[in-house]
Chains A and B, each alone.
Chain A
């Protein structure tokens, strides 16, 4: 059969990338390396979780948070008596009271450090009012209603409505909490991209070692190999994030009250998590492109490790830049971090943690998508031109040397 000119028969670049990505994804997913990749951070999270829970439990055991009873004298006495009766049947918050509590301002009671007062009960048995941090008074609302009902009627049939008065943290304290979220998120983002970029590089090194790269290069465009590798590892990272996220979620659920309440990020938790994942993808695609391009330039496996050092240092510089810049949103340094493509995802995660403005993220994502496309294209182009000019020569040289040595030995 004669093959006629002009007949095209090939996979599209995305189909070819999918074939490579599917192979890489399944190979990594079912490898021992992936097990350790998952286990490493899990071990770390487990240690922190266990340590935190133990620490919180020991703190609470030593000096548990107390409910200050600051109602009028008879109401306070009745409440304390009912508490004593019910405490034998169920777990209730510890109480503290004093002769001047009724007249002392609530804020003063809450700010006093000696008794570890977590909330203050004022009002009357019929209309009790709880003042304190949001989560704490929400947790104690039921117990207070139960005790008040017992104190009122002896049979607990009527439960009074407990009014809640959440205390507002100071602006400085709120900002400090959000800054902690930002720092933790940037650190997590940095660790994840570092881990993933390292993995994508090892994957390329393995393929250079296996000489499979030439089989791929002959069958599909090198751009597809590049894209496939990049997205396979992104998929792997999402599997990892899902597993780690599930473990963290389980720890938080199991820890319950014993864990300190988590500060709310500027944009709220659901949107923050979504933005974190998107910015992580952007950061990984940008740095992963650089690592893959560097990997394609290196003639031998050893050179890959040496040549990736500047890229690793660049990652560190970006991390320190953003950690410094996030303290002063809107400053020239912070704006530079937002605009510079490699630091932009990190800087925007910090903004999402600290500020609630949303349009920034739309603009930043547009900007980052543009740079991801430039980086991926440039990386793929370099990869295509360089990857087949390296590898085999190094292997041949070594083989030749070994052969000569063997001959000399013989």
Chain B
């Protein structure tokens, strides 16, 4: 059962000369519970916030399930993207060179 929410995985997109940066809020998520991959020109980021209940919870506001978000990135490869998780934010870096390479590979050489 999926539902849309606009308060999870809030993301900023920024760029400088060399790359695009995607900052996604994923507070308190274990690194091994975050997955990111490129498939069919979309970058998909999945996060699993499920945790074992260790103490009695008297109020829950934080999201405690799985979530996923997709971004259209074009013809780049999973290995072109670098990812780092710090202070609860996942930052994905896509070097602009990845697009130049994709552009070149698209060309047909004329003998």
Is chain B a partner of chain A in the same complex?
no
User: Which positions in A face B, CB cutoff 8 Å?
Assistant: none
User: Which positions in B face A, CB cutoff 8 Å?
Assistant: none
